[in-house]
Chains A and B, each alone.
Chain A
């Protein structure tokens, strides 16, 4: 894969080893250097790739300590007064511990806060179920006024962060924790609400999103042969037109996500297809259960059939 540094002047990270969350942090810093309204709101996890921001602009790095309700409420207050806060914390803590603050303070008031959620999915494999966010998309998707984006890699995370900022409305970014294989080898304007066909194919469409998962799906698709792959980073509002077109053209749809199959990408796709293009659908994701085993990320994905081999196996079993 072409090194990104060759493709774009000024790029300062190696996307092969940079996490999506780290890339999001870099975009935040770049935005902050251009725009004095940008603030970083923290809940004692600034240590996770946030130290450069703190060092460069300490007065705009606002740590609320281990107190998410207060951090979310204050972020909303800052946004209502014309600031442009990014709220950086674990996905579980923002969207579940402080869910009502997100709902009322941010979403109801359309306060332009970008919630950057790290440690999403089961990437924090050794940390155990307290630190897995396998329901965050379900919560986020149900909240009015909240846009939900799960980038596929660090490059897209950087671009999506800038797009989320430009939107000027509440956004949840789902950013994983491990660096994943690179999917995009050049920056491009990120269009919120638009999916992208990454691989052509005619016998079925696999719709997916998220760090590591998108590359695993691409590998699975090449093993399967004639499978189309759609990267759907914006889970809400979802790209209905693209979904309907792919369903009609390929006749079958599979969704793959590192999230409970209740309420996540699969559900979002099912809602569209059931209404506008009913075709056979298979949802591949995490079961409706807490993940009790610990292990490294790769091992966790294998256990749950979310590596390329597992995805291929699941799709073949469904087709047979």
Chain B
């Protein structure tokens, strides 16, 4: 099973490479770091969503709050069947609905995001509206510098929203550099715990570890869950790992070929 999921993760990464090469550019780093998180949610049976019935009122809600990493998100939505995989070729093309940042005109997208710090407050409202609906919010670590994140973190704990799960893509690097140099977040897990969240840190590229945690939420009844997924910015490509150089960029044909070779297959 994990092998199948690893193959799916590789497919998502290949899509991201194509999107970054065949468009003006994409947020490569944050897309690559989020791949295993999305893979586990969509393809390991965590998320109860049905592309054939996308408006089911009882569906799990996934808010992809770090909307700039749309390349990864769209790849996952397409592979999950929300729209044809072939439509990925229209990413950021004139007239396409696949904008650089997700919006609700795209099947499967719950919230327009990319202006950071919006997903968690809205997720709190969604979770409050129906305690039987589970709400997952994927946020970036740099995004957690937004005050609205901590306002919502307070509210979620105050209202004991154990149907709310935040997954932080803790890749350690934001646009201008390492988070700890730009605006330090550590001690990060302690902050979430202090705000009243059941908090766990996992290897964000270990699908087995992610799967174990995400199938077990809520970690504590009566508390919201925070999963800090420790990831590598730009994961999977030698030139994009652990650097902010590929926070955003366009892949040349040479880099695209290299990237696909490194991912282990040429399509």
A64-B151 contact in complex given A81-B129, A109-B111, C-beta closer than 8 Å: yes
Residue on A with the closest CB to B120?
Answer: A73
- Given A69-B151, A70-B124, A82-B57, A77-B129 contact (CB < 8 Å): yes
B148 CB contact (under 8 Å) in A70, A76, A77, A82: A70
Q: A62-B128, A64-B155 are in contact. Are A74 and B112 (CB under 8 A)?
A: no
Say how far B111's CB is from chain A's closest CB, in angstroms. 7
Closest CB in chain A relative to B100 CB, distance in Å? 15
Query: Do A81 and B118 touch across chains, with their CB atoms under 8 A apart?
Result: no
Q: Are B151 and A77 in contact (CB under 8 A)?
A: no
User: Given the known A-B contacts A69-B148, A100-B115, A109-B112, are A77 and B155 also in contact in the complex, defined by CB atoms under 8 Å?
Assistant: no
Task: Knowing that A70-B154, A104-B115 touch, tell me 7 more A-B residue pairs with CB under 8 angstroms.
Answer: A65-B158, A67-B154, A69-B148, A74-B122, A77-B129, A80-B110, A80-B126
- Cα separation A62 to B125 with both chains bound (whole Å): 10
Question: Interface readout for A232-261 with B: 1 if CB under 8 Å, 0 if not?
Answer: 000000000000000000000000000000
When each residue 116-138 of chain B gets 1 if its CB lies under 8 Å from chain A and 0 otherwise, what string results?
01101111111111100100000
CB neighbours (8 Å) of B151 from chain A are 64, 67, 69-70
* A83 within 8 A of partner (CB): yes
Q: Is the CB of A290 closer than 8 A to any CB of chain B?
A: no
Do A104 and B155 contact each other (CB < 8 Å), given the known contacts A69-B147, A80-B122?
no
CB <8 Å contact, B147 and A65? no
Expressed in whole angstroms, the Cα–Cα distance for A287 and B96 within the complex equals 45
- The interface residues of chain B lying within 8 Å CB-to-CB of A109 are 104, 111-112
Residue on A nearest B133 in the bound complex, by CB: A81
Is B198 on the interface with A (CB-CB < 8 A)? no
Residue of B nearest to A62 (CB): B128
- For A83, the closest partner residue in chain B by CB is B129
Q: Which of B57, B120, B121, B159 is within 8 Å of A72, CB to CB?
A: B121
Chain B residue with Cβ nearest A65 = B154
Residues A73 and B121 in contact, CB atoms below 8 Å apart: yes
Report yes or no: A70 in contact with B126, Cβ–Cβ below 8 A: no
Q: A residues within 8 A CB of B122?
A: 73-74, 76-77, 80, 105
A101 within 8 Å of B (CB atoms): yes
- Confirm or deny: B232 has a beta carbon within 8 angstroms of a beta carbon on chain A: no
User: How many angstroms between the C-alpha atoms of A81 and B135 in the bound complex?
Assistant: 12
Q: DSSP majority for the B interface?
A: helix
Docked Cα-Cα span, A73 to B151, in Å, equals 10
Chain A, residue nearest B125 (CB): A77
Instruction: Give 4 closest A-B pairs by Cβ, nearest first.
Output: A77-B125, A73-B121, A81-B129, A70-B151
Residue of A nearest to B117 (CB): A69
Once the chains are docked, how many angstroms separate the CA of A285 from the CA of B39? 57
A: contact size bracket: 20 to 34
| Neighbour of B125 across the interface among A65, A69, A74, A108, CB < 8 A | A74
Interface size for chain B: under 10, 10 to 19, 20 to 34, or 35 or more residues?
20 to 34
Residues from chain A with a CB closer than 8 A to the CB of B28 are none
Please tell me if B35 contacts chain A, counting CB pairs below 8 Å: no
Most buried by B among A81, A82, A101, A104: A81
Per-residue CB contact flags for chain A residues 74-98 toward chain B (1 = under 8 Å, else 0) read: 1111111111000000000000000
- A83 and B130 alpha carbons, distance in the complex (Å): 9
Residue pair B123, A81 in contact (C-beta under 8 Å): no
Closest to A43 in B: B151
Which of these, B111, B120, B129, contacts A78 with CB under 8 Å?
B129
Write out the residue numbers on chain A whose beta carbons fall within 8 Å of the beta carbon of B217: none
Q: Report the bound CA distance from A83 to B128 in whole Å.
A: 10
Residues of chain A lying within 8 A (CB to CB) of residue B148: 69-70, 73, 101
Q: B17 on the interface (CB 8 Å rule)? A: no
Q: Are B118 and A82 neighbours in the complex by a CB distance under 8 Å?
A: no
- Closest-CB distance, A51 to chain B (whole angstroms): 20
Q: Do residues A74 and B130 form an inter-chain contact, with CB atoms below 8 A?
A: no
A70 to B122, CA, bound (A): 8
CB of A70 within 8 A of CB of B152, answer yes
Some 12 contacts from A to B, beta carbons below 8 A apart, are A62-B128, A65-B158, A69-B121, A69-B147, A71-B121, A73-B120, A74-B125, A77-B121, A80-B111, A80-B122, A101-B148, A105-B111
Cβ-defined contact, A81 with B126, below 8 A:
yes
Task: Give the docked Cα–Cα distance between A104 and B65 (Å).
Answer: 13
Q: Is the CB of A76 within 8 A of B125?
A: yes
With contacts A64-B155, A67-B155, A105-B118 taken as known, whether A73 is within 8 angstroms of B125 at the C-beta atoms is yes
CA of A101 to CA of B127, assembled, Å:
18
Q: Which residues of B are found within 8 Å of A74, using beta-carbon distances? A: 121-122, 124-125, 128, 152, 155
